Structures are given as C-alpha cells and as structure tokens.
Chains A and B, each alone.
Chain A
C-alpha cells in the first residue's frame, strides 16, 4: 500500500491564482481530511469528508473548496490564493473517523503564495 499520497510536494503561486492540491489513499478509508500547519501553531482542520459525496467544514475553511467523488481521492482547491494561505498542507485518512482510529497523514504539500 502506498498509504496517503499528496501532490505536488512544493508549489509557488502568485496572489489571485487558483490551484488544486491532490490527495489520494489506497486503504479504502471512508474518512479523509485536510489540515494546514503553520509555524508556532498546531495543525488546524480545513475540511473533512466522512465518505464519497459527503464533505463538511472544519475550523478554517474560508478560501478553500473540497469535493469527494470517489473513496480514494479528496482534492483541496484554492479559489484565489492569498499570502495568508502560505503554509504546509497535510491530507489525512482513517477508516471511518471513529474515536479510537489512527489517522494516517500524507507527506505534505508546501505552498508559498507571493
């Protein structure tokens, strides 16, 4: 199993540009989520999905869109990039999002918005 994969590893955008961060998992997990990690702060939840066709907002959803058309893929879209979105983005998955389940994280995408 490849686990959770993310592409690209690194991206530079100009303010106002849009892009999609890709996330895929091959563990047949129902629950997937996106986090951002900023210096001096804990990871913060952006959006999550409990299954194909179902998404919901996390703690910091503004400026981001998600969709979940398949169990495997959970892309994160930046509609109009802003410097405040400079961050490291992590995708994570777990079997069903249950209380005691381990979350598996991808390697991250480092985004710089100029």
Chain B
C-alpha cells in the first residue's frame, strides 16, 4: 500500500534550537519527494523537491535529505525562529508513464512544530 508516515506527530522546541523531522514512505514506483510548510489557516507552501538521485537539498535554514534505498527522508531546521511554527508535510509523488495524467501525490499527516520563545 502506498503510504507516507511522518514522525513525530508534534514537536515543541525553543527558539534558536535545531530540529529534525522524519518521513518514511512505501510509495512505488517513486518519482520525487517534497516537503511543504503549512502555516495555520493557510495553504501548503513548497520547501523542497528531491528526485531519486538527490541526497540533500537546502532552502535557507531548511535542509532535506533523502535515502531512496531505505525510503526515508528528513527535514532539518537550523536555528529555529518563531515563524517556523507550522505543520510540515512530507509528500511523495508516484511515478506514472505518460506523466501528465494527474500524477498521484501521496501526502503524510504532517508534523506540527511549535517554536517557543
């Protein structure tokens, strides 16, 4: 079954600290893996997209890693800020032949991050 599991469900950290969010998936065949940030009451915003051949991708203080062999990804946030408080969603795209067929995205449940002063 195609699934994306994220851990932890929620996390509280102090401002300035680092944290790492985890994502395990069983989606096959694999196309790419995405991390989104969703602020409360807003739509998800893309942080990174990684393909099979990419191990690491950074976007400012956000660094995503991908191990396609173990089907695991992580999102590391450095020097957290209050504005990092949000839900972080891991999404895996399933590969289809004839790509423009609605390409199936499998969404994780998200990790709720709260950064406290």
Contacts and interface: CB of A to CB of B under 8 A. Distances in A.
- In the complex, which of the residues B89, B100, B108 has the most CB atoms of chain A within 10 Å of its own CB atom? B100
A42 B103 contact: no
Interface residues of A, number: 27
Contacts of B103: 97-99
15 contacts: A42-B107, A42-B108, A43-B89, A45-B105, A92-B43, A97-B99, A98-B103, A99-B93, A99-B99, A100-B32, A102-B49, A104-B46, A105-B43, A107-B43, A108-B43
Given A40-B109, A50-B102, A90 B43 contact: yes
A-B CB proximity, top 3 nearest: A42-B107, A105-B43, A43-B107
B106 interface: yes
Interface of A: 4, 31, 33, 40-45, 48, 50, 56, 58, 90, 92, 96-100, 102-108
Nearest to B47: A102
A103 B36 CA distance: 10
Interface string B40-80: 01111110010100000000000000000000000000000
A51 B11 CA distance: 40
Contact of A102 (B42, B46, B89, B95): B46
Interface of B: 4, 31-32, 41-46, 49, 51, 89, 91, 93, 95, 99-110
A31 B99 CA distance: 12
Given A97-B103, A100-B49, 19 more contacts: A4-B43, A40-B109, A42-B106, A43-B89, A43-B107, A44-B107, A45-B104, A50-B102, A96-B100, A97-B101, A98-B99, A99-B103, A100-B51, A102-B46, A104-B46, A105-B44, A107-B42, A108-B41, A108-B42
